[in-house]
Amino acid sequence: MRTRSRVKTEEAGRGWLRGALWYNFGPVQISADRSTSLGFQLGDPLGAFPAFKKFDRNGLNLSIECCRVSHLDEKTIDWAFELTKTNMQLLYEQSEWGWKEREKREELTDERAWYLIARDELAAPVALVHFRFDVECGDEVLYCYEVQLETRVRRKGVGKFLVQILQLMANSTQMKKVVLTVFKHNHGAYQFFRDALQFEIDETSPSVSGCCSDDCTYEILSRRTKFGDTPHSHTGHCAGCCH
């Protein structure tokens, strides 16, 4: 999920790991324009961390793959859309955005999209993360669009593990922070990111930037990497946050 204006801003210009293993490795070096090419030049951002390609705890034995959307088969893409629709349609309908199937499917299949896919022992997908490497208000970020889990693998640590992988990859590619958008009325998700994963309300979030009315239904959350500066004030807000 992402704020509308942030998507428009993209188009005009053309989200330390607690409780996880830490690796001593050299950061990925990308010499081209990182704002547009990083996501296309990377091979497997998870390749340097084989220990994170398995989740075998709490009664689960999952394998985790990281790939661009162009490497996913149609069946997996359809599953990703249907799971997102099942989990999110009502929440969207309760927001100022509403649920728009065509726009959501286009977002999920955008050529810049990357995925973490968790599969069970029968290779059936059970959880996904949709993310992209991007630039937000001058900061190079890993933007998390979706974290979606099948009911049968919830409350077993899978979601936390997948988001920790995002933070690991954000550090390895020298991103400044991991960023995501969450509905205020999605209380479980909001508490999960704020309390369990220690995300903070980002300076570009409507409640901080003041670009929206008090009844805006979402917050932008972020967690900085070791390459991220301390939060600073931008001159104005970044192209607005809602319309």
CATH, residue 192: 3.40.630.30
pTM flag (> 0.85)? no
The structure tokens listed for 233 are 């004030």
pLDDT value for 156:
98
- Asked if residue 26 is part of any domain, the answer here is no
Which residue, 215, 160, 153, is CA-closest to 189? 160
Domain around 131: 4-17+34-224
pLDDT value for 23:
27
What is the arithmetic mean of pLDDT over 53-77?
98
pLDDT value for 15:
31
Of the two residues 23 and 119, the one the predictor is more confident about is 119
- Asked if residue 104 is part of any domain, the answer here is yes
Of the two residues 241 and 121, the one the predictor is more confident about is 121
pLDDT value for 20:
29
- Asked if residue 27 is part of any domain, the answer here is no
What is the arithmetic mean of pLDDT over 53-70?
98
- Asked if residue 22 is part of any domain, the answer here is no
Number of domains in the chain: 1
Residue 18's pLDDT band, with cuts at 50, 70 and 90, is very low
- Asked if residue 174 is part of any domain, the answer here is yes
What is the arithmetic mean of pLDDT over 58-85?
98
- Asked if residue 117 is part of any domain, the answer here is yes
Q: At residue 231, does pLDDT exceed 60?
A: no
- Asked if residue 88 is part of any domain, the answer here is yes
Whole-Å CA distances, 88 to 50, 104, 154, 189, 202? 31, 11, 15, 11, 22
pLDDT value for 229:
75
